[in-house]
Amino acid sequence: MTATVPRQLVHRAAVAETFLTDWVTAGTDRFCVSAQWPRAHSLFVSPDRATYEPLLVIETVRQCGALLAHAEYGVPLGHQFVLQELRVTTYPEHLAVAGVPAELVLDITCSEIQRRGSVTTGIRYRADVRRDGAVVARAEVGFSCVSESVYRRLRGGRTPASVSALSPPPGIPAAAVHRTTGADVVLASAEKRGRWQLRVDTGHPVLFDHPLDHVPGMLFLEAARQAVRVRVGSAGRVQASFHATFHRYAELDRPTWMEVVAAEEDGTQVRVAATQDEQTVFECTVGTVASAAHTARSAAG
């Protein structure tokens, strides 16, 4: 807990966005990774600095996959990672911000390790995230990785330098999605209720920590979080779980639409989909639970 791991190993340009601090081997395809969370963050800590957001759990778990792929499974730096699916369940009662940065231990078990010859081309892994011995979250992630030359062919010559993103349209009110500034709003108003255009701001220092040639997965997850916040509101429920599937790349220079496609009446499960050129590029089911404050008020009443 004295320094972060090399930022290149977790695909971050900013040291401040690197949350992992160390790792050790715990057995065959098993690892113990340590992490530290800051007490304040523009996206990953609530505006009142009281709680950590589930997306911080997701980003921390994502970084574990990149770290272990490079450091333990020999995937060269420069290879491109393609996130396919993730399932994350958090326990909000353990996500309170305390008087010091939170220190986490992640127990990682890797499986379904795909190889082409001696080269690792894909991994699926499970993570149990603990804080002071308590389980903060459980997650499962699957991704593939390709060489730079293969990625260039897949992308048809698109690079961060050759693609210009659409100008972000005006966003919905920041308060509606539990944000303090309009710069962190990723949904724009649309004519249809429950449907928004995705705001892609390539200058955002967290969602675009470094130049990209496509819409990043964390932007889609933040958009799902915001869409569910609009759908459910703040009536005593907090988001606790995400099950996301990434179907294809979404381009920066074409409009992308986010839509709530299904929702339970009580808001416990909300499914969000993203489409571009009338094709589904991303789907996510977000689960919510009653907040501790709401539960306490109900019990008192």
Give the domain CATH number at 139: 3.10.129.10
State which of 121, 154, 187 marks the end of a domain. 154
State which of 118, 139, 154 marks the end of a domain. 154
132 with 176, same domain: the answer is: no
43 with 146, same domain: the answer is: yes
177 with 293, same domain: the answer is: yes
| Residues forming a β-bridge with 111 | 124
State mean pLDDT over 256-269.
Answer: 91
2 with 148, same domain: the answer is: yes
Report pLDDT for 73: 96
Q: How many domains does the chain have?
A: 2
State mean pLDDT over 84-101.
Answer: 96
Residues 125 and 93: beta-carbon distance below 8 Å? no
94 with 80, same domain: the answer is: yes
201 with 242, same domain: the answer is: yes
The whole-angstrom distance between residue 220's C-alpha and the CA centroid of its chain comes to 8
User: Domain range spanning residue 12?
Assistant: 1-154
164 with 112, same domain: the answer is: no
Helix (H) or strand (E) holding 113, with range, is: strand 102-116
The mean pLDDT of the chain is 92
Nearest-angstrom CA–CA distance, 259 and 275: 8
Nearest-angstrom CA–CA distance, 201 and 256: 13
237 with 212, same domain: the answer is: yes
Render pLDDT for 20-39 as a digit per residue (tens, 0 to 9).
999 999 999 999 999 999 99
Q: Which two tokens stand for residue 255?
A: 């409009």
Report pLDDT for 298: 40
pTM of the model as a whole: 0.94
